[in-house]
Amino acid sequence: MYKLYLLYLICCLVTFGSARADTPRYCVTKITDGSQERTETYALNNHGDVVGRMGDRAFLWRQGKLTFLEKLKGSHGNTANDINDSGQIVGTASFGNWKRKYFFWQKGKTQDLGEAAALFGQARINNKGEALLRVDGDQTMRAALWQNGKRKDLGAWWPWGINDHTQIVGSESFQYKRHHVIWAVTWEKGVTIEARGRDSVGTLINNKRSLVIVEWSLHTKGKQAVFLVENGQRTAIIAPDDQRVAAAAINDKSQIVGWVNSANDKSRAFLWQSKQFLDLNECIPADSGWMLTQALDINEKGQIVGSGTHNGVICAFLLTPLSQN
């Protein structure tokens, strides 16, 4: 572990040469226990605690120490999806034959939260300890909220994100004249409210109720566009060279991270802030050996987690700003 922190300090002292003065700069920390197992990070909290999966085991990475989470009884493997500032973790456990369950982890103990969607099961948790869950319905996805120790069904729609005010963003769908119509919605206090019009999905929401909406048009062969919606105003999140944008997380400063796919399907991690689109590979030392391919979460301090390759080996990273963005 001493070597890990020594490398971290060296990284922080590296100069970035001719980088633009307004370009944020980051130290890169590899999330690893020193083994060769494939590691994926999915989320972090405002203390810099990171969760994800190493091999088939869910983990918590805190101050350079890796802790594997207890599996649900009978499960083959587990994945940690999200963590809040209290260190509460939610995730999914697999049991074979497409059977999956959600779990809640706190202070070394793992609790069973019930059945998860077979293909798209993913849990999110806010700082109130409320978990947003996707559940298989008869013919469509259903939303569920685990709150105060009980699981509540929210209806037949597809949930994506939750904030600390229990506002949830997602999408509803129905059949109209043989067409499958989808539109973005928010859920609050037992009511679903339309967030956008036809052919849109709400994917992210922060504590200021800023939304990230993905829209597409059947008239443009399904080409999608990504927008930040704040106080009723829409701002397009546009990548250079018309690359496809996948937004993965937003913080309360409306900094957005994700990845872009170019025409040759090569993926690169990005940060979008103040209407500026930044390739995160240009924010780290050029000789670091890293290729950052996906950014998956960002906290209020501007730390970012994701996946990439280091010297050609697939691994997970934590980016820490050298100065306040």
The domains of the chain are located at: 1-14+27-44+237-325, 49-153, 157-235
Model pLDDT, residue 35: 82
Check if the beta carbon of residue 132 is closer than 8 Å to that of residue 161.
yes
Bridge-partner residues for 200, per DSSP?
215
Q: Is residue 190 very low, low, confident or very high in pLDDT (cuts 50, 70, 90)?
A: confident
Average pLDDT over residues 115-132: 95
Average pLDDT over residues 278-296: 96
Model pLDDT, residue 36: 77
**CB within 8 Å of 16: residues ≥ 6 apart:** 25, 285
Which tokens belong to 172? 């509803």
Q: To the nearest 10°, the Cα dihedral for 25, 304, 203, 111?
A: -170
96-100, 229-233, 256-260, range with greatest mean pLDDT: 256-260
Check if the beta carbon of residue 202 is closer than 8 Å to that of residue 212.
yes
pLDDT-above-70 percentage for the chain: 87
Q: To the nearest 10°, the Cα dihedral for 278, 268, 251, 304?
A: -100
- Nearest 5°: the CA angle 193, 197, 199 is 120
pLDDT at 193 over 50: yes
- Distance, in Å, from the CA atom of 270 to the CA atom of 295, rounded to the nearest integer, reads 7
Bin 8: left if φ > 0, else alpha if -120 < ψ < 50, else beta: alpha
Q: How do residues 223-233 score in pLDDT, each as one tens digit?
A: 688 999 999 89
Which tokens belong to 15? 């100069």
C-alpha closest to that of 40 among 319, 320, 314: 314
Mean pLDDT of the chain: 88
Average pLDDT over residues 182-198: 84
- Distance, in Å, from the CA atom of 41 to the CA atom of 135, rounded to the nearest integer, reads 23
Give 3-state DSSP helix, strand, coil % of the chain, rounded to 5. 5, 55, 35
Element at 261 (helix H, strand E): strand 256-261
